[in-house]
Amino acid sequence: FFSVQWDAINEMDEYFAPIHTYQVCNVMSPSQNNWLRTGWIPREGARRIYIEVKFTLRDCNSMPGVLGTCKETFNLYYYESDRAVGSTVRENQFIKIDTIAADESFTGVDLGVRRLKLNTEV
Domain that includes residue 87, residue range:
7-37+46-121
Report the candidate in 71, 88, 9 with the shortest Cα–Cα distance to residue 34: 71
* pLDDT the model gives residue 120: 87
The verdict on residue 67 lying in a domain is yes
Note whether residue 52 is domain-resident: yes
pLDDT of residue 2: 36
**2 in a structural domain:** no
3-state secondary structure string, 10-44? EEECCCCCEEEEEECCCCCCCCCCCCCCCCCCCCC
pLDDT given at position 61: 80
Residue 1 lies in a domain: no
Rounded CA separation 108/105 (Å):
10
Where residue 17 sits, what CATH number does that domain have?
A: 2.60.120.260
Phi (first) and psi of residue 109, to 5 degrees: -65, -45
pLDDT given at position 3: 37
* Residue type (1 letter), 75: N
Domain count of the fold of the chain: 1
Output the tens digit of pLDDT for each of the chain's 122 residues.
Answer: 333 444 555 666 667 777 777 777 677 777 777 888 888 888 888 888 888 888 887 787 877 776 667 778 889 999 988 888 888 888 899 999 999 988 887 765 565 555 667 788 89
